[in-house]
Structure 1
């Protein structure tokens, strides 16, 4: 559901728990600052240790405006500890609530790292949480990425905790890439896994955030296609605005190639397509999701936020 900034109050009732992440982007504040603080009872803001100075500044701004926010610091490169921290905070919150009341939870997924976001979704994929909650995901799209580069360098490449899949030595390896705007990450992942086959995807024109981002994504797609054409056995299109559409695309690819290949999914586009991949993998334990951590972000001119939000009902995808 697309909601304009000016219509936000008409679609949000009281919130029992609001979850967000601090970050260096202006977008990390777009939705939290638009909220009516009187409608929110509790809040968690996740903050990565040893982050950029601007991330701390954004964190303090949100803490000052929303005193109910509890800051949850977690390590940058320790996914198991991060998962334990998330699980502890969620369990503590639910135990303090009336077990007979359905809780309204909103998660702003905009500036979580892909790894932490998928770990959070893994933790929430629990009947005890889902049956007691109505969980909405909200995303502030980037209207534009004005900088020439978004990230530089890759620190590490690994499977995401909770999404390690089941790799059988009897099968060949296929890498399914949802390409985005950071081709260095794409290349490092391909070179690291050395797959027998690649399926390379890009957002369809109709399912992109806007024309400018579509054209930029197409140029990056063509560059990767040209460089790795001998390994690419197929192409596909996915959606950056509708979770369900991307789920269907990825599930179809798995159904077509899963008998022959071990499949590793690499979501390198926006958070909408990333969580679509997560929901597919949460229902299919054979599928692995990989992640490439960046060494450096272009924090000075990373993204320009849109003037609207995208809402999704998480329960509908997991229950």
Structure 2
């Protein structure tokens, strides 16, 4: 029999009451919006597997940035897609490459915008792996040198935060030391600390043109079955100087957001990845779901699990929903 003291519904009786006691909220300043920049001019091409997400040339990026700023979004995550690729991903650390050009352009026009630079080699290498290959295997320590050079080049271009996504052992300390030696001790590192070898990245690989030409990334990205391993990865990164920790993907691994929140005191970032986005878009296009309600429920779930920030392709839509 229900006790007279067990009246939980008292606090759910009206919309105003529910708003009064709501524990978690999504704010515009929590959102980080990914951008894909390409070489050329007059390019705004929708990525087929990611409706509403585009490749932008620098001239078209200017118009997109106006929309982003007008929406109130304060942070963007930059991905460059170069035309030239080679075995060592040299365009990643070329000061005049497309990513560095885009960073400079944004910071010149919007100095208050937080520009986060994804730091990896996969979209710059002709083989599509996140590091240098030797006899078909990714060479860890040789790759670290190139990642540090990439981070320094991105910082020189004006990046506010370096976000290494490569999952090499020791990547945080290699980048930290590289930044410090180059005079960028003030630049924080947002580490992809818990990044799984996931099937949820398919549409992103279309966007970044980064599908491996052979093999897979299971030797350096994490096994989706493992959780304790993620805590070890995160602890290493914090020890080496990481200022933020990312969980990627976020939706299928929300338990890892909670585990990191309970064990570390740095900001936790949930990456709402490409397939999570595309599945919602596809279902909404077929009329099977209410897109806004599904997206907001998902993002509130990330916050409830302990995320401070959310990287999401839904950011512009969410910003509109929050301010209407």
Report the TM-score when normalising by structure 1: 0.30
- Structure with bigger helix share is 2
* Greater Rg by CA: 2
- Structure with bigger strand share is 1
Structure with bigger RCO (C-alpha 8 Å, 6+ apart): 1
Report the TM-score when normalising by structure 2: 0.30
